[in-house]
Chain A
């Protein structure tokens, strides 16, 4: 056990699974870095260094640098999964899903259903999401609601280094296609992470705080903001439960409903664009299944329905902040 960053936790998960299972391979743009170019072999390890060190240990055969052609290499990963490997492919930014979406939603997500349940597609697609990196509207989106919409895909949004390692190992061992979303401003977050391999099951929400007054459901980076708010408000006499669903598909609806039934108040915090996102989905779920338990209208904390601004000032205003979450919690708590 030692402190590890979000980046190290994912790297360790990949390395341990590659040691355990020779069918696990890693592929993506600059995953090793420097393929075919003179100089350092293990130059980049992906654009933010998550796969660094894998190529020297596992070799070119298992750590593949791909051309800048998502449609080709995501398709190759899906095909490799259907024919016996366990590829972990890196779609550098989730914003690029448009060029490889058929391979994901109509191929990987459907093989099991098109081939009489006899085909498995154990591919993991790692991808960076989220605003706050000053990367403008084409490299800052969340887009996980789009994957969540597709039956046949599993969608994972880890909220901390411990979560990231256990969920990544689970993703690699899972026989279905898994989309694994990594928030680009969380890579340096640190916490205690066991050295041994471990798995966290999909479809089981984590309660990062337990309280009596308000339930906050949040995803990825927003879990940290919500924890911060819960700790602050606990000192003011408002106690919050914070639910981190961990996976949007499968979604642990039981835990969300149980928590809302206990507290009677719900705030959903979602960094994805507000139309048809996880906040609307969970609000609809609770309105339909637990309306009688509600003591106040549901509040959603989301960005506005606009592309992520490039202006740093506007980008900061765009992202759901702890202040906005706190205001929403206070509002539903009747303050």
Chain B
């Protein structure tokens, strides 16, 4: 049975309970490479591809197009050619029996999903989500301006299969405290380091997106011994350019239509901006203190329409392994900033992705993070 791999309904984000099969990309009997697209799944928030974790043969499509299934349900079976049809039938029957029993047990016990927790990071309440377990330095994911820990919904669960992974809400964001103090890069990176201290993390692999990248980089410069590696995704802090129309538009947007237009600039495929995504961001922006927090941060880190902190040239001060990942169609921070780093820092420019490259090309970004962590 070890040569049979189940493909199951993924869990993208805390709120996802079920997904719908939109379209199969690999037919029965089709060869698929590791990282290749198997099928598209739609949730109320987003549509994304499920990628194969193995090289192999897709033997059986269990879920039909249009079917809506719970997280963890069997979608397909991959197996080598020598595995018989009867063995696959038996595998499916056994899988479903276990799945149903586990689902019933989880419901009984009221357990299952990891819950975010709030910790005290040197006086600032920081909301974070921990997933997975492993020895050694954990991975810490830091979202960008206006984002929250759910931005890593396609990354954290997959990375957590082999690692301990934290995703946090920055001050002024998500469910963390809305008071951002000065709101500058120094204070934000200090809060990140306080968060690591509060979690008793002596060394972490940091992956930061956009503003989160600049925060990770600043933290690595401040305390290099505490940073095992740096992955800078569409990162701020490498060059001066930033699309201020986006930043100002996001801070201003209070209506559904405005917000939708603003968010579309984040993706190479604007169709990914769903009603739920817009509604969640509006809910965040309606909270008391959020507008003040965003205005304070934008007013310092993006003062006068450009990035106030350009640190790329300082990467050579670090021995820390570092890499830069960018979407070729990024309209917020130009992918050209990837070149503003020393030659020792590998730059990966991914085609067909915009600023939210870690969502649009999650599989590739996850593989790159895995790679630098394994180094």
Chain A residues packing against B (C-beta within 8 Å): 1, 162, 166, 194, 196-201, 204, 206-207, 210
Contacts and interface: CB of A to CB of B under 8 A. Distances in A.
B254 A197 contact: no
Contacts of A200: 286
Interface in B236-283: 254-256, 275, 283
Contacts, number: 27
Contact of A204 (B256, B275, B283): B256
A325 B289 CA distance: 40
Contact of A196 (B256, B275, B288): B288
A201 to B, nearest CB: 6
Interface size of B as a range: 10 to 19
B287 interface: yes
Interface of B is mostly: loop
Nearest to A196: B287
Contacts of B178: 196
B286 A1 contact: no
Contacts of A198: 283, 286-288
Contacts of B289: 196
B286 A166 contact: yes
B288 A207 contact: no
B98 to A, nearest CB: 29
Given A201-B254, A201-B255, A206-B256, 15 more contacts: A1-B175, A162-B283, A194-B283, A196-B178, A196-B287, A196-B288, A197-B287, A197-B288, A198-B286, A198-B287, A199-B286, A199-B288, A204-B254, A204-B256, A207-B256
Contacts of B275: 207, 210
Contacts of A210: 275
B287 A194 contact: yes
Contact of B255 (A1, A194, A196, A204): A204
A200 B283 CA distance: 9
B108 to A, nearest CB: 20
Contacts of A197: 287-288
Contacts of B283: 162, 194, 198
Nearest to B178: A196
Kindly list the 9 A-B residue pairs having the minimum CB-CB distance in the complex, ordered from nearest.
A198-B286, A197-B288, A198-B287, A196-B287, A210-B275, A199-B286, A204-B255, A166-B286, A201-B254
A233 B272 CA distance: 25
A207 B283 CA distance: 14
A1 B15 CA distance: 13
Contacts of A196: 178, 287-289
Contacts of A199: 286, 288
Nearest to A210: B275
A250 to B, nearest CB: 13
Contacts of B254: 201, 204
Contacts of B255: 201, 204
Contacts of A201: 254-255
6 contacts: A1-B175, A196-B289, A198-B287, A200-B286, A204-B256, A210-B275
Interface in B81-122: none
A204 B285 CA distance: 15
Which of A162, A198, A206 has the largest count of B CB atoms less than 10 A from its CB?
A198
B6 to A, nearest CB: 28
Interface string B158-201: 00000000000000000100100000000000000000000000
Which of A162, A196, A200, A201 has the largest count of B CB atoms less than 10 A from its CB?
A196
Nearest to A162: B283
A166 to B, nearest CB: 6
Which of B254, B256, B286 has the largest count of A CB atoms less than 10 A from its CB?
B286
A124 to B, nearest CB: 18
A200 B288 CA distance: 11
A194 B256 CA distance: 19
A33 B288 CA distance: 32
A200 B256 CA distance: 12
A194 B148 CA distance: 15
Contacts of B175: 1
A206 B254 CA distance: 12
Contacts of A166: 286
Nearest to B255: A204
A199 B288 CA distance: 8
B56 to A, nearest CB: 35
Contacts of A162: 283
